[in-house]
Amino acid sequence: MIVKRRASITGWGKCVPPVKLTNDDLEQLVDTTDEWIVARTGISERGISHVEVTDLAEVAAHRALAAAGLEPTDIDLLVVATVTPEITCPSQACYLQERLGAVNAAAFDLNAACSGWVYGSATVASMIEAGIADRVLLIGAEKLHFVMDYYDREQCILFGDGAGAGVYEASTAGDGVLASDIGADGVAGRTMVIPTLGTAGELSQRREPSDARLHFEGQAVFKLAVRGMEGSVRRALDRAGLGVDDVDLVVPHQANLRIINSVTRRLGVPPEKVMLNIATHGNTSAASIPMALADAVDQGRIEPNSIVVQTAFGGGLTWGTTVMRWGDRVEAIAKSDVELPPCDKSVFELLADNRAFFAPLHQEQAEN
DSSP 285: G
Tell me whether residue 49 is exposed, middle or buried, using C-beta atoms within 10 angstroms of its C-beta: 0 to 12, 13 to 18, 19 or more: buried
Distance of CA 257 to the CA centre of its chain: 15
Residue 292's nearest CA partner among 114, 30, 109, 48 is 114
* Backbone φ, ψ for residue 146 (5° rounding): -65, -30
**Beta-strand relationship, 162-171 and 135-142:** antiparallel
Active site members: 114, 253, 283
Three-state SS for 288? helix
Cis peptide before 361 (omega within 30 of 0): no
C-alpha distances out from residue 269 to 188, 230, 274, 275, Å? 28, 11, 8, 11
CB within 8 Å of 199: residues ≥ 6 apart:
none
DSSP string, 207-238: --HHHHS-EE-HHHHHHHHHHHHHHHHHHHHH
Residue 233's nearest CA partner among 310, 288, 170 is 310
CB within 8 Å of 223: residues ≥ 6 apart:
none
Between CA 280 and CA 276 the distance in angstroms is 10
CB within 8 Å of 19: residues ≥ 6 apart:
47, 48, 49, 50, 343, 345, 346, 347, 350
Q: What stretches of 42-165 show up as alpha helix (H) in DSSP?
A: 53-68, 92-100, 116-129, 153-156
Between CA 232 and CA 68 the distance in angstroms is 29
